[in-house]
Structure 1
Amino acid sequence: MEENEHIEQLLDLNRQLTAIQKAEMKEHLLLYMNHLLVHDFNKLIQLLYRVDVSEQKLKELLAANPQTDTAILITELLIQRQEEKIKAKETFKPDNDIPEEDKW
């Protein structure tokens, strides 16, 4: 369970991070993706599914970049997907500026 909490913290892009913190987060994710690729591929698949990384995007990226480290590509996709989720949340955020008399 500790490992799951750690990855959740790494993927929590909602918080404001400095450029150095983002670089450190990316490095930790990269190391973790390498670890999962080598030692626990099933857990990697579960993580990609849970974060909702597009299988098609991953296949295309791997095919287009055969010389690039797979863990780097996966890390980039994970971060990209989390950023997409944040943008979607902001886009569909409920309007809290409703006057008190108009609220139910």
Structure 2
Amino acid sequence: MEENEALKWSLQLLENQPYLSEFSFEENRKQLIFAIDQLIQNDFSKLINILYRIDIDEQKLKTALFENPLPPSETIADLMIERQLQKIKFRKIYQDRNNNHEI
């Protein structure tokens, strides 16, 4: 499932070990939210660095944090998952194009 793959990548960036085979998407999402909350409280610069590496648009982040009634850690987690899903889709498109050119 692509959502779990996106979660796995996000958790690895946060230096957490995901246990994706044991828990549901929602449980893993909660793990991601918790890790982000810890970074907000203890190492905000590391969180900013991770968001930069993932390539989350700064304006989109600011807008989401301002407009979304959810806690910031939850909003950031959802943006991370969304961005990782985009990357997965782009990689699949690129692989499909490369495979079609090899024929």
**What's the TM-score once normalised by structure 1's chain length?**
0.72
- What CA distance in whole angstroms lies between the structure 1 residues aligned with 2:35 and 2:50? 11
Deviations 1:25-46 (CA, angstroms, capped at 9, x unpaired): 2111000010001111001001
Ranges in structure 1 where 5+ consecutive residues have no aligned partner:
11-16, 100-104
- Counterpart residue type for residue 92 of structure 2: E
Flag the structure with higher helix content.
2
- Counterpart residue type for residue 24 of structure 1: E
State the Cα RMSD in Å. 2.7
**Relative to 1, partners in 2 of residues 1:70 and 1:25: Cα closer, same or farther, differing over 3 Å?**
same
Other-structure match for 2:99: 95
Other-structure match for 2:86: 84
Other-structure match for 2:51: 48
Deviations 1:11-56 (CA, angstroms, capped at 9, x unpaired): xxxxxx67x4322221110000100011110010011011111111
Matched residue SS, 1:34 = helix
- What CA distance in whole angstroms lies between the structure 2 residues aligned with 1:76 and 1:52? 14
Which is greater in Rg? Answer: 1
Ranges in structure 2 where 5+ consecutive residues have no aligned partner:
1-8, 15-19
Matched residue SS, 1:53 = coil
**Which stretches of structure 1, 4 residues or more, deviate above 3 A after TM superposition?**
96-99
